[in-house]
Amino acid sequence: MYAENFTKLLIVDDLPENLMALNEIIKQKDRIVYQATSGEDALMLLLQHEFALAILDVTMPGMDGFELAELMRGTERTRHIPIVFVSAAGKELNYAFKGYETGAVDFLHKPLDIAAVKSKVNVFVSLYQQRNEVKRQVEALEKSRQELHATQVELQRSLRMRDDFMSMVAHELRTPLNTLFLETQMRKMQLEKSNMEAFNEEKLQRMVARDGRQIQSMIRLIDDMVDVSRIRSGKLSIRPIETELSDLLQRIVSDLSHQAAAAGTDITLDANKISSGTWDEFRVEQIIINLLTNALRYGGGKPVKVMLEANPVYAEVTVRDQGNGITAADQHRIFEPFERAGTKTGAGLGLGLYIARQLAEAHGGSLTVDSTYGEGAAFRLRLPFQ
Ligand SMILES: Nc1ncnc2c1ncn2[C@@H]1O[C@H](COP(=O)(O)OP(=O)(O)OP(=O)(O)O)[C@@H](O)[C@H]1O
Ligand SMILES: [Mg+2]
């Protein structure tokens, strides 16, 4: 048991044999009885400990029991401690203590009646313990009130986030849907006018490609939302299979070549070494596509480099661009959902890096960024072999 679990009692008497006798009467295994042979010693102890009760001998050389009690009542720290005076005098002396009648003050008379001493001390000790218990309960109550408040704030925050999320998603879906709708209106008009020239092979091909892109962007958005809700509910799972990274990178870069050409960006791939591991190939592809799409989007059209390196512990894919880069302050933020460094709208929901990092971590790996603002950014994906 720690000292805090004991009830501390103070007894003050100039005669050591009196202290010993009193100690014998009141001691118990859950109590610590401190003894002082003078008012001065008692004051020292009073400043160091919290006492449930002080039993003071009235007649002492130097500072007597009343003077000590006076000092105790005058000090905030000791004001509330109940005092029991021990005196040899008769009951008429009680009148002299009127000044203390408001506090918990009591009297014992010499010679001490053992049963009376015991029961008096027990009363004060149990009062003290009850008061402490109430204090503890009030504190616990206050703590749960604060926790409740924190939960409430968190709840409001997530409600607000959900609202923001829904309006962002609505906006992001609306843009491609509006375009598709306009296209169909136009086609309808052309058909009504029997203007088949508008549907010649070349125009039709461009139309189909355009439609495909709009639809693709909506599918991607919905997939991202499904991923976010999986991550949030802890249901994101990966299906690892034998995956070879240099081939995979080759394929991704070639798949993105149209997009790269449209952005006027040259992607170079430096991945000569075969690097095989047990990873979820689709998820790894998703991470790298996210990084490359960002590099095309935010890389200012400057060349982008993809590198594959490996050591015995992990494979590392780096996607480096020469765009504006990311400020130190934004480098943490961009991995949070819906966080975007710039203020531009319409480019995306700000989910790509959040999902990518969660996917990397689901593989036991990591996704980090290294960037000096103004000098491009390098995103580093590490995938452990084990
Ligand atoms: N290569 C980069 N260079 C500069 N800034 C970047 C780069 N990649 C990401 N960012 C910043 O980080 C933000 C978050 O990126 P993230 O991929 O998570 O979202 P997004 O691209 O805005 O939207 P989404 O990927 O959901 O379509 C971006 O909005 C951009 O401000
Ligand atoms: Mg992105």
The CATH number given to whatever domain includes residue 329 is 3.30.565.10
Domain extent for 220: 163-232
Assigned domain for 364 exists = yes
Q: What is the pLDDT of residue 105?
A: 82
CB of 295 shorter than 6 A to ligand 1: yes
Residues 191 and 266 reside in one and the same domain: no
Shortest-distance Cα residue to atom 1 of ligand 1? 295
Three-state DSSP state, 108? strand
CB of 353 shorter than 6 A to ligand 1: yes
Assigned domain for 126 exists = no
Assigned domain for 158 exists = no
From the number of C-beta atoms within 10 Å of its C-beta (0-12, 13-18, 19+), residue 105 rates as middle
| Among 334, 339, 344, residue to substitute to test ligand 1 (most atoms within 8 Å of Cβ) | 334
* Percentage of residues of the chain with pLDDT beyond 70: 93
Q: What is the pLDDT of residue 232?
A: 86
Which one of the ligands is nearest to 296 CA? 1
Q: In the predicted model, is pLDDT for residue 100 greater than 80?
A: no
What is the C-alpha separation between 48 and 26, in angstroms, rounded?
21
Average pLDDT over residues 104-121: 89
CA of 360 to the centre of ligand 1 (A): 17
CB of 356 shorter than 6 A to ligand 1: no
pLDDT digits (tens, 9 = 90+) for 202-223: 999 999 999 998 998 899 889 9
Assigned domain for 296 exists = yes
CA of 373 to the centre of ligand 1 (A): 14
CATH of the domain at 57: 3.40.50.2300
Assigned domain for 372 exists = yes
CA of 369 to the centre of ligand 1 (A): 12
The answer to whether the beta carbons of residues 309 and 318 sit under 8 Å apart is yes
Mean pLDDT, the chain, integer: 91
Assigned domain for 141 exists = no
Residues 202 and 280 reside in one and the same domain: no
Q: What is the pLDDT of residue 102?
A: 47
Q: Strand runs (DSSP E) across 25-77, as ranges?
A: 31-36, 53-57
Nearest-atom number in ligand 1 for the CA of 220 is 27
CB of 380 shorter than 6 A to ligand 1: no
Assigned domain for 96 exists = yes
Which one of the ligands is nearest to 293 CA? 2
